[in-house]
Structure 1
Amino acid sequence: MDVRIGIQNSPRELAFETSHSAAEVEEAVGAALAGQSALLKLTDDKGTVYVVPAPALAYVEIGSEESRRVGFVA
């Protein structure tokens, strides 16, 4: 699944693919925004860990869990 995280006062966004489900990502984001966790911590498919302070979150875009199609459609 694709995840895109916007960070306040930063022109770039974090974009990566993760094996976590949409519900797991949404739960982690909700906990960070509710103040239950000071950090949003997610891991991508390659094992890289992304840690973002909760007050710096501008937006989090959670993509679909479908795999991408490769090739041409007639």
Structure 2
Amino acid sequence: MTVTLRKRNQGKKTSLYLDYYHKGNRKLEYLKLYLDPKAKTKQEKELNKQTLQLAETIRAQRQIEI
């Protein structure tokens, strides 16, 4: 079973979700984490970076659980 972190553009924000794939079956888990695709300041870019790291940590935990 694989767990993939994916992004979906939703207007002003980019939503992060996990895509589980096993033997032809897919399951989605939305993380309620969002990125700002128009980040310009250092603080906004750093917030996006931290959010991606958190999402990757969650993805790794789900992979270990399975």
Please report the TM-score for the alignment, with normalisation by the length of structure 2.
0.33
Q: Which entry has the higher C-alpha Rg, 1 or 2?
A: 1
Which is strand-richer, 1 or 2? 2
Please report the TM-score for the alignment, with normalisation by the length of structure 1.
0.31
Which is helix-richer, 1 or 2? 2
